[in-house]
Structure 1
Amino acid sequence: MSDTHTVLHDPRGLIGAELPLDRAPHEALVTAVLAWKNPDLAPRDYEQIALQLTGHARAVAADVRRHAAALPRNDGRGALAEVILREADRHLSAPLEGTAHCARNRARLVRALYTRLDRLTEPIPASP
């Protein structure tokens, strides 16, 4: 029997870094969750939504870390990224709950991470 798969060794996570985030559907989910007025879902549905947002938050946080690490030490954007990343780590270490509150918190986290990622990737205007 021949081997039909290849095991990849990627200790620095470079393979995943080359894959773009699937941003649009997650932003749509964030928008929907944050627009809830009086949701009436089953706890397992809230948990699944929070789980989806948690996974995506981890991916966005990894991108924020990667971009922040590439900045010069005197670039203030890196320090601001560290603040949001510490906050993200704190939120992501909390256990998931089957509640609208938990899902909303994860949605807010994804939104904050994308805001920081956008600031890290936008070009800095040249000084006059």
Structure 2
Amino acid sequence: MSDTYVVLHDPDGRLEAELPLDRAPHEALVTAVLAWKDPDLEPHDYEQLALQLAGHARAVADDVRRHAATLPKNDGPGALAEIVLQEADRCLSVPPKGTAHCAQNRARLARALYERLDRLTKPLPAAS
């Protein structure tokens, strides 16, 4: 075993941008958390779920930012992306709490970010 390691320096996030998000398990988590009626979990369990959802929401928000950066910010899809990103920044700036409400809010945020990302990456219809 070696005592050496290599530090990856990627300040522009190019490598991260090229790696697709592992979407399916996070969407399943979002669906499960939003389906809760009266969950009975410990506060630290809610907090861990909120942290996981927040981390994934940040990754999706980064993808939305990369796609939105190529669009005008004053109207259309670029403006809508800016609104969603502002809400994401506001929500993610608040530390997670050990409540179902907090975990569900993070799940709603992740869902909204995925919806915006899908709209930004959807191919344009062919002109006839």
1:64 equivalent in alignment to 2:58: no
Q: Provide the C-alpha distance between the structure 1 equivalents of 2:120 and 2:105, rounded to a whole number of angstroms.
A: 23
| Preserved contact between residue 72 and residue 79 of structure 2 (Cα < 8 Å) | no
Unaligned runs of at least 5 residues, structure 2: none
CA deviations on 1:10-67 (whole Å, 9 max, x unpaired) are 1111111111101000000000000001100000000000000000000000000001
The question of 1:51 aligning with 2:36 is answered: no
The answer to whether structure 1 residue 116 and structure 2 residue 116 are counterparts is yes
Query: What's the % identity of the aligned pairs?
Result: 77
Shift of 1:76: 1.5
Displacement after TM superposition at 1:71 (Å)? 2.8
Secondary structure in structure 2 of the residue aligned to 1:44: helix
Answer whether contact 2:47 2:103 (CA < 8 A) is retained.
Answer: yes
Number of residue pairs matched by the alignment: 127
Q: 1:90 matched to which residue of 2?
A: 90
CA RMSD, 1 decimal: 1.7
Q: Does 1:8 align with 2:43?
A: no
- SS at 2:120's partner residue? helix
The residue number in structure 2 matching 1:32 is 32
Q: 1:73 to 1:111 in 2, by over 3 A?
A: closer
Task: Write out the 4+ residue segments of structure 1 that deviate beyond 6 Å after TM superposition.
Answer: none
TM-score w.r.t. structure 1 length?
0.92
Distance 1:102 1:64, change over 3 A: same
Quote the Cα distance in structure 2 between the aligned partners of 1:73 and 1:50. 30
